[in-house]
A = this chain, B = another copy of it.
Amino acid sequence: MTLPPQPVFTLLANDGRARSGALALTHGIVETPAFMPVGTAATVKSLTPNDLREFDTRIILCNTYHLWLRPGRETIEALGGLHAFMRWERNILTDSGGFQVFSLESRRELSEAGVRFRSHIDGSAHEFTPENVIAFQEGLGVDIAMTLDVCVKLPASREEIDEAVRLTSRWAQRCAAARAQPRTQLFGIVQGGLDEHARERSASDLVAIDFPGYAIGGLSVGESREELYRMARFTASLLPIEKPRYLMGVGTVRDLVAAIDCGIDMFDCVYPTRCGRNGRALTRAGDLNIRNACFARDAGALDPTCACSVCATHTRAYISHLFRSNEILGPRLLSYHNLALLAQLMRDARAAIITGTWTAFYEATLAALTIPG
């Protein structure tokens, strides 16, 4: 194994626990804090690569589980790898498939070797092992691969959490040993549910392997906001200051700024694109249901503070009409706006951290969230 050049992450500034950095990857530099749009099946739903570049997306996330099943590694490799396949020449992070497989529940079987599962598409049998998910992600040519982890559904017993942490650590070692492509960085995933001792053990095991970055998994799965923030803050404190920290599954305005305040650098979530398809507009004041009758003749932009091309062009009234008429331009425009809004939020957060005005920005962002929900 050829080790990648170190460091890939440079911490540029911090303000309290909040941090801003530069993550140098094979397909360019990612400024952090960064939100990664989710492109599950090699497509950020409804948007083109050009759309994503318009709001300066530097990295997206794709799902190993979905790409494994369809179109499969051989097809993607035959088309020149995942970047060429989807015509996205910036960075890609793939998850390991662990999260999706564990959500299959009755359709999967766990062992020390790995996890056997049946496809949700056609019921066909598959197995993920630490080794084959690394080979898969490296075969796609992604910039960041994730270790195969064991996700437990909360609430879980102490024994379940301990066993998940043990197996996650063991698999992380096997993933690290399986690496063969220096172009692909490998991040470890800290598990441990809401148990601080388990989080400490998991973080300690992973830090000993010395990954170039660490994810915090097993959160944003139904626990309260306070528990999420507490565990994110606690787990971040266990991780090396010079490595990027990625909190999986967080994507609301409130949770993003709160998690940045906990010392997190990277995020992904289906929330902005799922809301985009369902008629929910993210704004700096909170979320709006654009189908609501009050928007039918509203000539304003989705968010008057937003500089995206949808807000510069279209009215709430028109987008409301598109959703009432089940027109597919509605999900497209709203997905674009929601992701562009989070991209601007991250840019503003970085500027606040760099200029030492993070606390004021953080408090003003929370105070502006006046819409309940």
Residues of A within 8 A of B (CB): 41-43, 45-50, 66, 70-71, 75, 78-80, 85-87, 277, 296-297, 299, 313-315, 317-318, 321-322, 324-325, 327-329, 331-333
Contacts and interface: CB of A to CB of B under 8 A. Distances in A.
B318 A87 contact: yes
Q: How many copies does the complex hold?
A: 2
Contacts of A78: 297
A331 B328 contact: yes
A103 to B, nearest CB: 18
A43 B329 contact: yes
Contact of A41 (B50, B86, B317, B325): B325
Contact of A70 (B50, B297, B321, B332): B321
Given A75-B296, A85-B317, A314-B87, A46 B332 contact: yes
A321 B71 contact: yes
Contact of A45 (B299, B313, B327): B327
20 contacts: A41-B325, A41-B327, A42-B318, A43-B325, A45-B329, A46-B329, A48-B313, A48-B332, A70-B321, A71-B296, A71-B317, A71-B324, A75-B297, A75-B317, A75-B321, A79-B299, A80-B299, A85-B317, A87-B314, A277-B328
Given A75-B317, A78-B297, A328-B331, 17 more contacts: A41-B321, A41-B322, A42-B321, A43-B322, A43-B325, A43-B327, A45-B327, A45-B328, A48-B313, A48-B332, A70-B321, A71-B321, A79-B299, A79-B315, A85-B315, A85-B321, A87-B314
A48 to B, nearest CB: 7
Contacts of A314: 87
A78 B48 CA distance: 33
Contacts of A80: 299
Given A43-B322, A328-B46, A317 B87 contact: no
